[in-house]
Structure 1
Amino acid sequence: MDRTTAPQQSFAAPVHHGPDGTPYYLTPTPLAAPSAVYHPAAPAPVVHGPALAPTAVYLPAPPSATNPVPVRDPWPARLLAGGVALGVGGLGIGYAVQAVASAAGSVGGLAALGVGAYALAKTTGSGGGRGGGGQGAVNVNVTVSNRNR
């Protein structure tokens, strides 16, 4: 937006610049006191800690009567490591059993498809009769006699 050609907004106070370039905002009513120039407050000083030598190596205090050497008991770490190992082992066994079960299900499904295809191939064919089977005709001889006549 070009500010030189924009119309004057009604809510903006007119600005008067003093001889040194300081802006003064003019109001429609006269002021009770002379206008003051705004000067921002100086920033708070930054407080730094004691300076450390950049090349110094800071080691822990040597053991003494007031600063004994800490004694570590390794059993909690061993228990934690054993528990983690048992959990990971259990997960590994679970994944292995799951993989074997899915493989067995796949092999069982393939076997079922094979049996179904074999049975379908054996039952479809010529020859008529039950099951057909493609083995040819069957001779049937039925003799009926009624002795009560």
Structure 2
Amino acid sequence: MHQPHQPAPPVIGYTADGQPFYLTQPTTYTAPLVSYQPAPHPVLVQPGPPYLPSQPLNMPPARDPWPARLAAGGVGIGAAGVGLGFLLQTLAAATTGLGLLAAVLALAWLLKSNHSGGGRGAVNVSVNVSNRNR
């Protein structure tokens, strides 16, 4: 039995020398057309009033916890100082490493270069001394 949403199997033809090839067929859709039906809109629920804890109306305002704020600020400033110290230490180590690398490369270039005095190799020297006062 043919299902409505399954494509039809391809038809295979053969040439005169026996080579197979697929015969093209126009594509047909067997499913019935359905008109567009928009999805129903969701029901919006109105939020209620925000939760407020019950407090007596005649309660005096709480004291300002200035010691706690002062301690928290001191901890924050101390942590920022430690972080800044680590940053500067890392920066110093990086610049020291780059400086040492530049010095090693400059020394290698000077030793390799022919512009230095010791880089030319052996020199033959011939000295003739004559004493005319003999």
TM-score (normalised: structure 1) = 0.43
Q: TM-score, normalised by structure 2?
A: 0.46
Larger RCO (CA under 8 A, 6+ residues apart): 2
The structure whose Rg is larger is 1
- Structure number having the greater helix percentage: 2
